[in-house]
Copies of this chain bind each other. A is one copy, B any other.
Amino acid sequence: MTFKILHEEGAARIGQLKTAHGTIETPFFMPVLTKGTGKYITTDDYRDMNIPAVISNAFLLSCKPGTKTIQQAGGLHHFMNFSGGIFTDCGGFQMSRSMYDAKSKKGLHFRNPFNNSKVVLTPKKIMEIQLQLGSDVAMMLDDMSGYGVTHTQAKQAMENTHRWGKESLQWHQELKKRYSSSQLLFGIIQGNFYPELREESARFINSLDFDGIAIGGVAIGEPKKEMYAAIDAAIPHISPAKPRYVMGVGSPEDLLELIGKGIDCFDSVYPTQTARHNTLFTKNGRINIDQTKYQQDFTPIEEDCPCHTCTQYTKAYLHHLSKVQEPAVKRLNSIHNVYFISNLLDEVKKSIKNQQFTEFKTTFLAKFKR
């Protein structure tokens, strides 16, 4: 069994996801290491915080340093010196970026951002790339439609996604043997913000033999209400026996809401991106370290926080570094926010084990959102 549920409280659950690099306790949050590192923050920082898994971008890594280099390093774990779980995203999300050219029935057409050469990402190609990288969990190729597209466009993208999902599975099963790999493969539900498409996509993706089911194409600029409507339309049609992953979501509020709905896995640049813009998480809500009131506040971001930053530096110091635009502060801020999320998930798991998740969530959010 790849995934095992150990505790449940309502829809919330604690599980174990077995990967080639150990068993990951769910729910868990993955920092994003797009090109093989965090921004300003490195894999050793994540190891020091006991982060169980991270996610990298397979398409970008295949452009640079290239799969050959990573294979010769002994795989992505060795290359970036991270021994926990590594997920790789296939690149569909990169459609929002400048390197996206077009799509066809075959796959996604990109420009290699480093040399401008044309790349067609087909299900076969991206499965092979992810096996070469040696990640623990590969993601199928999906077609993500942007916020605001018509029903017809959303349906077409969903249908591409479904076709590519089947092809991804087939190629993954065939190529896995060739690479003697035990890599897992997760499916991705699309359907934009049309709940009936989300339901249809969830039913279809769930019917295929994926090791886990992701909900993609959310948190792309839509109102929160629409995001939740899309997720709510999908969840009932995902087998409870499979790990459920909402891609691109990572705020404390969303993590608690979605864990309450039975989501097991998350990734997002949110904690580090906000940190780089000087917004820090505390149990009493977000603070902006740039505010004048922190100029002479010689206490850590959070008094009881055991993170690297809080045990060493004060808010006054972080405020100063930010005001004089020293890049070092971006790392210190990022470490705190990622630790905060990691610690939040530890508390969430403890509360589920004790059948106190609902209470924990209410108490946490009352303080955090006040």
Contact = CB atoms under 8 A, between A and B. Distances in A.
Interface of A: 35-44, 60, 64-65, 68-69, 72-74, 78-81, 114, 295-296, 298, 308, 312-314, 316-317, 319-321, 323-324, 326-332
Contacts of A36: 317, 320-321, 324, 326
Residue with the greatest number of chain B CB neighbours at <10 A, chosen from A65, A74, A323, A328:
A328
A323 B64 contact: yes
26 contacts: A35-B326, A36-B321, A37-B321, A37-B329, A39-B327, A40-B40, A40-B327, A41-B328, A42-B328, A42-B331, A44-B308, A64-B323, A65-B295, A65-B319, A65-B320, A65-B323, A68-B296, A69-B295, A69-B316, A69-B320, A72-B298, A73-B296, A73-B314, A79-B314, A79-B316, A80-B317
Contacts of A295: 65, 69
A331 B40 CA distance: 8
A275 to B, nearest CB: 14
A316 B41 contact: no
Copies in the complex: 2
Contacts of A319: 65
Contacts of A42: 328, 331-332
A42 B41 CA distance: 13
Given A321-B37, A331-B331, A73 B316 contact: yes
A330 B330 CA distance: 13
A326 B329 CA distance: 16
A44 B312 contact: yes
Main secondary structure of the interface of A (DSSP, over half): loop
Given A69-B296, A72-B296, A320 B64 contact: yes
A80 B332 CA distance: 13
B324 A64 contact: yes
A332 B329 CA distance: 15
Nearest to A326: B37
Contacts of A38: 328
Given A295-B69, A331-B331, A317 B40 contact: no
B298 A73 contact: yes
Contacts of A79: 314, 316-317, 320
Contacts of A43: 312
Nearest to A42: B328
Contact of A328 (B40, B313, B317, B332): B40
Given A39-B327, A327-B327, A327-B330, 15 more contacts: A35-B324, A37-B328, A37-B329, A39-B328, A40-B40, A40-B327, A44-B312, A64-B320, A65-B316, A65-B319, A65-B320, A65-B323, A72-B298, A73-B314, A79-B316
